[in-house]
Amino acid sequence: MQSYGFVGTGELTAAIVEGLNEDVAVFLSPRNHDIAHDLAERFPTVEVCRDNQDVLDRANTVVVAVRPQVVRTVLTELTFRPEHVVVSAVAGTTLAQLREWAAPAHRIIRSIPLPTASRRASRTALYPGDPAARELFDRVGDVVVPADEATLATFSAATATFSAHLAQLAAVAGWMADHGVTAEDADAYIAHVFGELGRTLAGHGGTLGELARKHETPGGINEQFRTTTQNDDRTRQALDEVLARLTNQ
């Protein structure tokens, strides 16, 4: 049976574990007691380890999913084996840094798994395209391998837009509530509309620009709202700033 260890047991780890096939053994860090023990209670193949070193001792493929601020401290306190495959889900931490902190392990992979891994619908960007990492993330969706590590950072920066999109939807629902719709109905309506739009997006074979144009007519209300609120320059500037942070530029 294939086994995976997880150093760091937050929401992202929970999503991956939920999506994994049942024919794998999963060893979890005890750091987040509630999440770790909830997963162990729900899935018979999941076990909570004594500590992070116990995770490494029991699994050859180890996913590191801790906060960027503590990743160096966490990794340098552990004893890795040369045969370990170390898959980092830590934003902004380079392969060179990971190789130094996880030595003598030398198969080091950076990855950007998505919360939709819980539904086996993550499109995980990773670099380099190591077969063990591919096998892991193929279990929870599919995989994209960019040309180099610098391009991987672009994928990572794009994920920084999640909360902005959701916050805009929350603002729309809040506006509806201000105009007489119950807050519950407003949230449910917006969640339904954009959930279905997501399904359309997933099945669309053309460009995103083409899809946007299909959802508006010249002089219509969709065009009015878009031209009033859209600021491509500001979006690109914000993404450039995120990318600079991720690449320490």
174 domain residue, yes or no:
yes
Q: pTM score, two decimals?
A: 0.88
Tell me what the pLDDT averaged over the chain comes to. 95
77 domain residue, yes or no:
yes
Number of domains within the chain: 2
242 domain residue, yes or no:
yes
Pick left, alpha or beta for residue 35 (phi over 0 → left; psi -120 to 50 → alpha; otherwise beta): alpha
% of the chain residues with pLDDT over 90: 92
| Same domain flag for 217 and 130 | no
Count of beta carbons in the 10 Å neighbourhood of residue 184? 10
| Same domain flag for 197 and 134 | no
Q: Where a domain ends, among 145, 171, 194?
A: 145
| Same domain flag for 29 and 118 | yes
| CA 114 remoteness from chain centre | 3
Q: What's the confidence (pLDDT) of residue 32?
A: 87
| Same domain flag for 30 and 53 | yes
| Same domain flag for 23 and 91 | yes
Q: How far apart are CA 154 and CA 148, in angstroms?
A: 10
| Same domain flag for 169 and 219 | yes
| Same domain flag for 134 and 168 | no
CA distances from 88 to 1, 61, 94, 199, 227 (A): 22, 11, 9, 29, 40
Chain segment 64-112, per-residue pLDDT in tens:
999 999 999 999 999 999 999 999 999 999 999 999 999 999 999 999 9
Chain segment 114-165, per-residue pLDDT in tens:
999 999 999 999 999 999 999 999 999 999 999 999 999 999 999 999 999 9
Q: What's the confidence (pLDDT) of residue 23?
A: 84
- Give the DSSP per-residue string, 187-228: HHHHHHHHHHHHHHHHH--S-HHHHHHHT--TTSHHHHHHHH
Q: What's the confidence (pLDDT) of residue 46?
A: 96
> Domain range holding 92?
2-145
Q: What's the confidence (pLDDT) of residue 238?
A: 97
| Same domain flag for 216 and 179 | yes
Q: What's the confidence (pLDDT) of residue 154?
A: 96
| Same domain flag for 78 and 49 | yes
Chain segment 13-43, per-residue pLDDT in tens:
999 999 997 789 999 999 888 999 999 999 9
Q: What's the confidence (pLDDT) of residue 44?
A: 93
Token digits for 169? 């939807």
154 domain residue, yes or no:
no
Q: Inform me whether the pLDDT recorded for 59 exceeds 90.
A: yes
235 domain residue, yes or no:
yes
Q: Where a domain ends, among 102, 117, 145?
A: 145
| Same domain flag for 136 and 180 | no
> Residue 92 corresponds to which amino acid?
G
| Same domain flag for 120 and 31 | yes
171 domain residue, yes or no:
yes
Q: How far apart are CA 58 and CA 46, in angstroms?
A: 12
Q: What's the confidence (pLDDT) of residue 31?
A: 83
Contact 80, 56 (CB under 8 A): yes
Q: Inform me whether the pLDDT recorded for 61 exceeds 70.
A: yes
Q: Inform me whether the pLDDT recorded for 249 exceeds 70.
A: no
Work out the widest C-alpha separation in the chain, in whole angstroms: 63
Q: What's the confidence (pLDDT) of residue 204?
A: 85
66 domain residue, yes or no:
yes
Q: Enumerate residues 6+ apart whose C-beta is below 8 A from 76.
A: 101
Pick left, alpha or beta for residue 219 (phi over 0 → left; psi -120 to 50 → alpha; otherwise beta): left
| Same domain flag for 35 and 105 | yes
CATH number of 98's domain: 3.40.50.720
Q: Where a domain ends, among 145, 178, 213?
A: 145
Chain segment 222-247, per-residue pLDDT in tens:
999 999 999 999 999 999 999 999 99
Token digits for 95? 């392969």
153 domain residue, yes or no:
no
